[in-house]
A and B are shown apart, each in its own frame.
Chain A
């Protein structure tokens, strides 16, 4: 009996009996299985993909958050909107207690503005939906834990870009989230949810 050079998996040698071949294959398979099972998985795992439908003003994504991960990344890309407007965000069933900033800066002029949300019904302005694309990236912490949920997001629109930060004041556990176009609708595009390995 010999072993492979990297993982030391057992392999037969040329002089071993053919009648022992089945057992040799079983031993090799068991060794490979044990090695692969113990390999570390990636730090960022795709949890869920949701395609945005046709002419919808909002999309609810169920079963996005669980005990498997504390922190998540959400990316919305592609598709298009009926008009240019913001995307707002809500976790679970919480309809109040949303606090966030939205710092926006123009591409064409040195101007910027903060549009804050102070105990609102959504995290406002966290993404953008244009006639050419829907977009935002968000880092969201502790949505499934019975703690405050905290987020930061950023996006580049047609004429200006923005960054947002905020939190949800209800210390509850959420499994779902909803994106809502502030006015108009979205068609197509993809919502991807990734979990950060704890």
Chain B
């Protein structure tokens, strides 16, 4: 038996109602977009941290790394 997807509620001024199918699709797409961008940012931060660690192993001081 098929089950109905429970969609989140949205508010338009003082009216609160369940999302339409189109609104729900747009909402899911925006969530995916934001998650992807956050993942990209995390990957960049991790890459920077890794690079800094490698520079430190090469003998650069913190002041020298910050000056780069």
The residues of A with any CB-CB pair to B shorter than 8 Å are 50-62, 86, 88, 95, 102, 111-117, 120-122, 124-125, 180, 182-183, 185
Contacts and interface: CB of A to CB of B under 8 A. Distances in A.
A112 B44 CA distance: 10
A56 B12 CA distance: 10
Contacts of B45: 111-113
Contact of A115 (B14, B16, B37, B49): B37
Contact of A53 (B11, B26, B31): B11
Given A102-B41, A114-B44, A182-B31, 4 more contacts: A53-B14, A53-B16, A56-B11, A58-B10
Please indicate which of the listed interface residues A115, A117, A124, A125 has the most CB atoms of chain B within 10 Å of its own CB. Answer: A115
Contacts of B42: 113
Nearest to B43: A113
Given A88-B30, A88-B34, A55 B44 contact: no
Given A95-B26, A113-B45, A115-B41, A86 B12 contact: no
Please indicate which of the listed interface residues A58, A102, A185 has the most CB atoms of chain B within 10 Å of its own CB. Answer: A58
Given A53-B16, A57-B10, A60-B12, A115 B40 contact: yes
B22 to A, nearest CB: 11
B3 interface: no
Interface residues of B, number: 24
A172 to B, nearest CB: 19
Contact of A180 (B12, B27, B40, B41): B27
Please indicate which of the listed interface residues B11, B37, B38, B42 has the most CB atoms of chain A within 10 Å of its own CB. Answer: B11
Nearest to A56: B11
Cβ-closest 8 pairs across A and B? A115-B41, A57-B8, A56-B11, A60-B12, A59-B11, A53-B16, A113-B41, A113-B45
B9 to A, nearest CB: 5
A121 B9 contact: no
Interface string B2-19: 000000111111101001
21 contacts: A50-B14, A52-B11, A53-B11, A57-B10, A59-B10, A60-B12, A62-B12, A62-B13, A88-B30, A88-B34, A111-B49, A114-B41, A114-B44, A115-B41, A116-B37, A116-B41, A120-B30, A120-B37, A122-B30, A124-B33, A182-B31
B56 interface: no
B53 interface: no
